[in-house]
Amino acid sequence: MLDGMFASVTGGLTGNYITPYALTMQATTQQIGYLASFPNFANMLVMLIAPLLAERVGSRKKFILPGVFIHALLYLPMLALPFIIPTNQVWWLIALVTLSTAAGGIIGPPWSAMMADLVPTEIRGSYFGVRNRINNFISLVFSFVAGGLLQIFTGDTRLAFVIIFAGAFVGRIISLYFLAAMAEPHPSLPKNGTRDSLAQITRGLFSTNIGRFIVFVMFLSFAQNLGAPFFSPYILKELKINYMSYQIIHAFTAVVQILVMTWWGKHADRVGNVKILRICALMIPFVPMLWLVSSNVVWICSVQVYSGFAWAGFNLCAGLFIYDAAPQENRARYIALHGALSAVGAMTGAFVGGNIGDYLPQIKGSDYLSLFLLSGILRLGVVLLLFRKIEEVREVEAVKTTELLFGKLRPSELAKSWRNFYARVRRIRRPRE
């Protein structure tokens, strides 16, 4: 819990502000695409080798700790970049973010496998729901800190980014301290003493339940990143929204995730992960499509509320499904393959989006809106075609979707209550003469 809290300080300070940092260096749309795609390519490579390296070290924790330390150190050259590199700053930033992502990515599979061994199966949904809720709250608070700094130092954002990246370094170092204090359970070994290789696991991608899920996430990640990396430049460059309003827009997503994360987690323990994944996956394609409706800040914030609700359930249950579906002795390898192929999808999507945006027919005079529409259409296609064959892997309670979302209140009764509420509001606004 404490490791996650301080790691969230780092994530909150930097998560929404790498792209704005690049924009202060006059990054182009193509470079923004590379800023999203190159780190994901590095992430894919290191995730594939992470389980093997951790096994050679002999201890997952001893492998994780140096990776976290390197991850923390890389924030220092990022903060110094505008002062020590006079030219090609964007390309240097892309290189540093790529190295930082690789350092963070290589510890992902061993850390996830260790956490899966530490947390009992029957409470995983509740535990990670609470953990994610706390982490999202801290991340939100420090996102506002970063946005406030950029607003205060509008005339010289370099100083603001120095403080932001210095804070990110400190947060990651403190999280390293708590990681070092964690217990490490001994990983399970198969009866024959050998684990399946990544090549053996990969051959079963299209014939096993967990393999089909990994393929589904890869293609969804591609469709998502065709448009998602360009939301920040759309907000900052095209709509010319200031840093604090930019952070408020992102905050709506974070606040909703904080509110619903434990709710999704409890339901996951009860009804399983697949049912929640199906509900959320059908909601996700409409997020970028809704961005096309209006550029009004209130509308964009409303869409972010919807987005936060859908992605909170999907991201939580995607991780839990891998924990449940992967054999314990090969769990780190499945987590690595899942992360690597998801990174392949993200990398390819961002790369394609950054290079085709100028060639798409503009919508309302915007290349970004064209990418958002294409992203939404592809997301919907991926969900409809690839999610059907994914099945739950544990015995769970059968609950109707309407009951899951609304409790025992039927949608017709919910609609009636909303009509009564609306009628009362109208009477308040238009009192009888």
Residue 409 reports pLDDT greater than 60: no
| Residue closest to 230 by CA, chosen among 102, 401, 74, 354 | 354
Contacts 24+ apart (CB under 8 A), 216-219: 216/382, 216/386, 216/387, 216/390, 217/318, 217/338, 217/341, 217/342, 217/345, 218/341, 218/342, 218/344, 218/345, 219/345, 219/382, 219/386
Residue 133: which pLDDT band, with cuts at 50, 70 and 90? confident
pTM of the model as a whole = 0.73
Question: What whole-number distance in Å separates Cα of residue 301 and Cα of residue 299?
Answer: 5
Residue 68: which pLDDT band, with cuts at 50, 70 and 90? very high
CB 223 within 8 A of CB 378: yes
Which tens digit of pLDDT belongs to each residue from 81-94? 989 888 889 999 99
| Residue closest to 114 by CA, chosen among 74, 75, 59 | 59
pLDDT of residue 136: 86
CA dist list (Å): 211 to 315, 331, 387? 17, 13, 12
Residue 431 reports pLDDT greater than 50: no
pLDDT of residue 153: 84
Angle between helices 209-225 and 29-57 in degrees, nearest 10 = 150
Angle between helices 75-84 and 157-180 in degrees, nearest 10 = 160
Residue 426: which pLDDT band, with cuts at 50, 70 and 90? low
Architecture of domain 2-184+198-399: Up-down Bundle (1.20)
The residues facing 366 across adjacent strands are 363
Average pLDDT of the chain, as a whole number: 86
Which tens digit of pLDDT belongs to each residue from 108-126? 888 888 888 888 888 888 8
pLDDT of residue 386: 93
pLDDT of residue 3: 94
Residue 432: which pLDDT band, with cuts at 50, 70 and 90? very low
Which tens digit of pLDDT belongs to each residue from 187-233? 655 555 566 777 778 887 888 899 999 999 999 999 999 998 888 88
pLDDT of residue 433: 41
Q: For the chain, give the percent of residues with pLDDT over 90.
A: 37
pLDDT of residue 191: 53
Q: Of 310-324, 365-379, 389-403, give the lowest mean pLDDT range.
A: 389-403
| Residue closest to 332 by CA, chosen among 235, 218, 159, 197 | 197
Cα 176 vs. chain centroid, distance in angstroms? Answer: 21
Residue 417: which pLDDT band, with cuts at 50, 70 and 90? low
Which tens digit of pLDDT belongs to each residue from 279-301? 999 999 999 999 999 989 899 99
Question: What whole-number distance in Å separates Cα of residue 309 and Cα of residue 3?
Answer: 25
Residue 408 reports pLDDT greater than 60: no
| Residue closest to 394 by CA, chosen among 261, 271, 281 | 271
**Amino acid at the residue 29:** T
> Both ends of the chain: CA-CA distance in Å?
58
